Amino acid sequence: MKKFSFISVLAVAATLSFAFNQYNYSLKGNIWKIDKYLCLNEEVEHYILELHIKEQGKLNFGTFVEFLNDGTFRSYNHERCGNSIFRTISGTYFLKNQILTINVDTIVIKDNVKGVGGDITTEHRNKSYQFEVKQDKNKVDLFLIK
């Protein structure tokens, strides 16, 4: 009977652990849909990220941010036809104790309104931002630390 009870307790603990961890997604190595370009507008104090799962055969439109395993990030957009301005913000990041430090290196804006190829504007910002990270299920809030 004791053996059965011990196994039952382990099974319940494993189930609870899985239920908790299935929502504990890492910022690193995932694609996140974000409500605004990360650090494009310096006045934005709060961002909302939702885990983005690409579905094969489905078009994926919106603004995204990726925190790559090599410590770099990029925030970019995929828009429907007709939107001819594309932005990419890139740089490095560091995450420790729920504090995300973003170092924005470059902002590239490609404007195809004037024809194929378009105008490309590059801003070298070289500025750092710090955010408090709050995660709930598959959603992450980033709050600017002033």
Kind plus residue range of the DSSP H or E element containing 17: helix 2-21
Of 71 and 55, more confident: 71
Please give the Cα distance from 93 to 72 (Å, whole number): 6
On average, the pLDDT of the chain sits at 80
Q: Which two tokens mark 57?
A: 């055969």
40-44, 60-64, 94-98, 142-146: segment of lowest average pLDDT: 60-64
Q: Which residue has the tokens 């603004």?
A: 63
At 146, the pLDDT band (50, 70, 90 cuts) reads confident
Q: What are 33-65's pLDDT values in tens digits?
A: 999 999 999 999 999 999 988 777 676 788 999
- Do the Cβ atoms of 129 and 45 come closer than 8 Å? no
* Domain residue spans of the chain: 26-144
At 110, the pLDDT band (50, 70, 90 cuts) reads confident
Global pTM value? 0.74
